[in-house]
Amino acid sequence: MNYTDLSKTISHALRHEPWLYELELDDEGWTNVEDVLSALRCEKPAWESLVVDDLMKMNEQSEKKRFEIQGTKMRAFYGHSIPGKLNKTPAQPPQFLFHGTSPSNIGAIQISGLRPMQRQFVHLSADVATAMNVGRRKAKMPIILQIRAEEAHAVGTKFYLGNESVWLADGVAAKFIEFPD
């Protein structure tokens, strides 16, 4: 089974267009696992015999833990672009977080800070390596920004834990971002 293809399809379904798969997400992004399996079985002939264990293996084999399964429910941890904001519980961030971006975005970030753009939240990384991997999706040679998350949090910026390597924020003001020289 191609778990990468499966993961991409589930990401699309749970993060961007659940209605195309006839899925209903609750306020925290949860939906019924059986509904996900049913939608996927209709998507490709190779997935006709898909079971929960396949979803678990897909998630375990992925470097990025994008999904969570609890009992009969499943959701994407982060990356949503669907209308309406999912409920997240604010959390105390580490002292620093990181954000990988294209050099062409630096000017706008210096003025406006980090904004969610087409997503619900700004995505931040717990370490430089993860930020570099994320940044490579935007540029061959990304710029890594250091976010003074603890300081921003102390004055009211809300941070949310996405998973062990991804943090989310509603936005981050430029004054809390360390730009390279």
**4 CB contacts (<8 Å, ≥6 apart)?**
none
Q: Evaluate if residue 180 carries a pLDDT over 80.
A: yes
CA distance readout (Å), 121 to 76, 81, 142, 167: 13, 9, 20, 9
d(CA 132, CA 84): 29
Residues 60 and 114 reside in one and the same domain: no
- Tokens representing 144 are 């890594």
pLDDT category at 61 given cuts 50, 70, 90 is confident
Q: Evaluate if residue 64 carries a pLDDT over 80.
A: no
Residues 66 and 101 reside in one and the same domain: no
Residues 50 and 101 reside in one and the same domain: no
Give the residue numbers spanning the domain of 169. Answer: 97-178
Secondary structure E strands in the chain: 31-32, 67-70, 73-76, 97-101, 122-125, 143-147, 159-161, 166-169, 177-178
* In a domain? residue 88: no
* pLDDT digits 0-9 by tens, 134-175: 888 788 999 999 999 999 999 999 999 877 788 989 999 999
Total count of domains within the chain? 2
Residues 127 and 171 reside in one and the same domain: yes
pLDDT category at 28 given cuts 50, 70, 90 is confident
- At residue 136, the pLDDT reads 85
**Of the residues 76, 107, 139, the one at which a domain ends:** 76
* In a domain? residue 81: no
- Stretch 55-81: mean pLDDT: 86
Q: Evaluate if residue 63 carries a pLDDT over 70.
A: yes
Q: Is the pTM of this model over 0.85?
A: no
d(CA 17, CA 127): 30
Greater confidence, 99 or 23? 99
* In a domain? residue 15: yes
């980090």: which residue's tokens? Answer: 114
Q: Are 125 and 66 in contact (CB under 8 A)?
A: no
CA distance readout (Å), 42 to 9, 22, 36, 51, 118: 12, 11, 10, 13, 29
* In a domain? residue 153: yes
Q: Are 166 and 141 in contact (CB under 8 A)?
A: no
Angle at 82 between CA 44 and CA 38, to 5 degrees: 30
Share of residues in the chain with pLDDT > 90 (%):
57
Residue 150 parent element (H or E): helix 149-154
d(CA 128, CA 97): 8
Residues 122 and 164 reside in one and the same domain: yes
- Stretch 89-98: mean pLDDT: 95
d(CA 77, CA 11): 10
Residues 65 and 105 reside in one and the same domain: no
* In a domain? residue 148: yes
